[in-house]
Amino acid sequence: MKKQNNLVTLALSSMFLALAFVMPFLTGQVPQIGSMLCPMHIPVILCGYICGAPWGLAVGFIAPLLRSVTLGMPPLFPTAFSMAFELAVYGVMSGVLYRKLPKTKLNIYLSLIISMIAGRLVWGIVQLCCVGFDVNKFSLAAFWSGAVANAVPGIVIQLVLIPVLVIALEKANKSK
């Protein structure tokens, strides 16, 4: 039974990785806001919730690097490199917090918000490291713009869509 569960988790994680790879094609059709929708974030965060922290971490770290190496988007350094750490944090944090906190709607939102804040902070730290800790090249304003202001549509979509999906999956699991 354990082996079957591991295979299901592997299959689901592979599906989330594939979604993270493909979803930017869909949102990229709207150039004005395509990247603002943060299309790779949703499958990675869901992977953390559904498959667990280690799988969320792996899918989050691999997704932007795989897209960069195979398609050239996002650019490998510093964009995909920073995103790899950011998405890994989303995946691991959503998985850890979802497992540790009581399964309430409020805690689903709480774990999502904490994961999103932690991931964005890590993205900022990695970006700063990539420019050699030069605040003239990556300032607080650049962090705010990249992590929050330009991502508002994606943040809203994540706050609406992810809890609904997690709650629906919980209900489906309980009815089995």
Architecture in CATH for domain 2-174: Orthogonal Bundle (1.10)
- Cis amide prior to 24 (ω within 30 degrees): no
Residue 76 DSSP label:
I
For residues 147-158, average pLDDT: 93
For residues 115-135, average pLDDT: 93
CA 120 to chain centre: 10
Q: What are the boundaries of each domain within the chain?
A: 2-174
Question: Is pLDDT of 136 > 90?
Answer: no
3-class SS at 32?
coil
Burial class (CB in 10 A: 0-12, 13-18, 19+), 5: exposed
Question: Is pLDDT of 32 > 80?
Answer: no
Question: Is pLDDT of 33 > 90?
Answer: no
CA 122 to chain centre: 12
Question: Is pLDDT of 11 > 70?
Answer: yes
Burial class (CB in 10 A: 0-12, 13-18, 19+), 11: exposed
> Dihedral of the CA atoms 55, 58, 63, 68 (nearest 10)?
-170
For residues 129-149, average pLDDT: 88
Task: Return the pLDDT at 2.
Answer: 65
pTM of the predicted model as reported, rounded to 2 decimal places: 0.94
Take residue 40 and report the two structure tokens written for it.
């790779």
62-85: per-residue pLDDT in tens? Answer: 999 999 999 999 999 999 999 999
Show the CA angle centred on residue 34, arms to residues 125 and 163, nearest 5°.
Answer: 70
Question: Is pLDDT of 132 > 80?
Answer: yes
84-110: per-residue pLDDT in tens? Answer: 999 999 999 999 999 999 989 999 999
Question: Is pLDDT of 1 > 60?
Answer: no
| Cα gap 133→22, rounded to integer Å | 33
Task: Return the pLDDT at 146.
Answer: 87
CA distances from 99 to 4, 107, 161 (A): 21, 10, 20
List strand residue ranges (DSSP E) for the chain, in order.
none
Yes or no: say if 59 and 91 are a contact pair by the CB < 8 Å rule.
yes
Task: Return the pLDDT at 169.
Answer: 92
